[in-house]
Amino acid sequence: MEMNALDDVESQVLDLANQAIGHQAGGDYRQAAQRWAQAIALADTGMHDDEIRYWLRSGIADAHYRLGQDEACIAAAREARDWCRHHQAPLAALLLGQALYRSGRMQAALEALEEARSMIGAEFLDAIDHVHRDAIAELMTARAA
């Protein structure tokens, strides 16, 4: 691919990602998920080796989580997890753990949440969805005992 074509693809991907972020900030997670999906499709075809592809998957995982689409969240977060771990970015592990928790897979949820806590530190519980915060805190405390 020519450099200008690659620049054009990157520009389009970033524009779609910015649109997705705007929709998420406004609480329109369905539109956000659509924009993230468009950005991912474009990046996967035109930016094969670019690490942005994993960041995009973190974004769509967040939108899926907020829509209650746990399986889609889990799939996207798993794809982004290694890249996020390498960059000390806890979002993929945090979303993965919470989606696994909501879907009843406690052992896997706790492993992902422990990974996120190791990156976040003392503010870990503040990053957990308030709906599940107390229950997750109890599970993690019981596991540590």
The CA distance from 32 to 4, in Å, is: 27
Mind listing the pLDDT tens digit for each residue in 1-27? Answer: 455 655 788 899 999 999 999 999 999
Q: What percent of the chain has pLDDT over 90?
A: 78
Q: Where are the domains of the chain?
A: 3-144
- State the amino acid at position 32 in one-letter form: A
CATH 1.25.40.10 fits 3-144, yes or no: yes
What is the maximum span of the chain, computed from C-alpha positions, in angstroms? 57
Q: State mean pLDDT over 76-90.
A: 93
What CA–CA distance (Å, rounded) separates 9 from 12? 5
Convert 109-136 to b/e letters by CB count within 10 Å (16 or more is b). bbebbebbbebbeeebeebbeeeeeeeb
Segment 34-63, tens digit of pLDDT = 999 999 999 998 787 788 889 999 999 999
